[in-house]
A and B are shown apart, each in its own frame.
Chain A
Amino acid sequence: KQEVTQIPAALSVPEGENLVLNCSFTDSAIYNLQWFRQDPGKGLTSLLLIQSSQREQTSGRLNASLDKSSGRSTLYIAASQPGDSATYLCAVTFTGAQKLVFGQGTRLTINP
């Protein structure tokens, strides 16, 4: 079964720290992987999309990496701020599935 897992479910760090969020997936045959942010009670905001041929993507303080062979992606957040507090979701399009499969998310809290 094609699944996406995010561990830990929740993470709390002091402001200013660099941090890494993890995403693992069960099948290395993927089209792409997308990271989203979700604030409480709101919709999803797309952060980064990595195609299967790419190793990483960067946007501002965010950097996402992709290692298909190990079935892993990481989202690196530099110099974290309280405004980064949100739930971060990873989603994968597996080859042949033609749809996004979502992880359960990591709820991130940045403490001032």
Chain B
Amino acid sequence: DAGVIQSPRHEVTEMGQEVTLRCKPISGHDYLFWYRQTMMRGLELLIYFNNNVPIDDSGMPEDRFSAKMPNASFSTLKIQPSEPRDSAVYFCASSLGTQPQHFGDGTRLSIL
């Protein structure tokens, strides 16, 4: 069984550039979550979708962040323009209902 697949695994870019993180959830899962992990804040839920519809985006830090889920097998998290304080590990997770969330391997983002 393929797990949650995230790409890229690492991203290094300069401040001001657009960053796009990608996620393919586990087939059949109806929930998709985007998290951010930093030393200072720990794991933060940014946004989650149910059946491709955004349900709660209250964790999205500001308008520079946006997320889409055009279909059941793909989601993106975009940061435009990026800033050094956006540097973190970004996780995507998926689940079926209240079953345990399965996490991808994360994307380590470094903004110089």
Q: Do chains A and B stick together as partners? A: no
